Amino acid sequence: MKTLFQSLALCSLIAMASCTHIPIDPLDSDCDPGTVDFTTEILPLIVSNCAMSGCHVSPDAADGLDLTSYAGIMEEVKPGDPNDSELFEVLTETGDDLMPPPPSAALTSSQIAVIRMWIDQGAKNTDCGGDCDTTAATTYTDVATIIASQCLGCHQGAQPSGGVDLSTYSMVTFAVSYQNLTNTLHGIMQSPQMPPTGAMSDCNIGIINRWVRSGMPQ
């Protein structure tokens, strides 16, 4: 039986992330209040934490499992049953079976809870979008939520990708001031586009930009 447990040694040595562009799959329009959105909540979280180079991304995806698309993720998910879904099981394992493997940081309890809720809700391929207030003041909590879902899989731990650690407030402000964080979000001034799977939404980039312009309040 195919599992995600092979190639742990290889994945644990990967320090630099290199992800592919995400294929487009047919979308489910079920966006009732309380729905966990696959496109904006689940996919960025899984890509950031599982689709680093040498792990679950083509062309040499570990175990032949590419987790950069809805179709690939669904190979490891049983809709409505997280406890019988390989994806959820490996996120809650202990020791050598845990994914992502050390030295990568494990997902937080809140991130795991979001994935569980998505599976409980039927693991639908939703793209709910949502309203974006382009004028509201932003706080570090707003920024940290975005970074946790789209950046931390690569940018934390003992060997963060590119030497950029985004795991704390002080690290994020350092990255803004000295490591061209905002330039990489826009892919400007010869900075590589980040996230490498494609640009963040205009809404998320706007939240981060407004936070920076307001002096990066904590």
Q: How many domains does the chain have?
A: 2
The per-residue pLDDT for range 115-172, each reduced to its tens digit, is 999 999 999 999 887 667 777 788 898 888 888 877 877 787 777 888 888 889 999 9
Mean pLDDT calculated for residue range 194-216? 83
For 117, other C-beta atoms within 10 Å of its C-beta total: 15
Greatest CA separation for the chain: 52
Q: Is the pLDDT of residue 208 over 50?
A: yes
pLDDT tens digits, one per residue of 24-68 = 445 555 788 889 999 888 888 888 777 665 576 556 666 678 888
pLDDT digits (tens, 9 = 90+) for 74-109: 999 999 999 999 999 988 887 777 777 777 777 888
User: Which domain covers residue 93, as residue numbers?
Assistant: 34-120
Are 103 and 147 found together in one domain? no
pTM over 0.75: no
Q: What is the secondary structure of 75-105 as a DSSP string?
A: TT--TT-GGG-HHHHHHS--GGG-SSPTTSP
Residue 148 lies in a domain: yes
Do 112 and 38 lie in a common domain?
Answer: yes
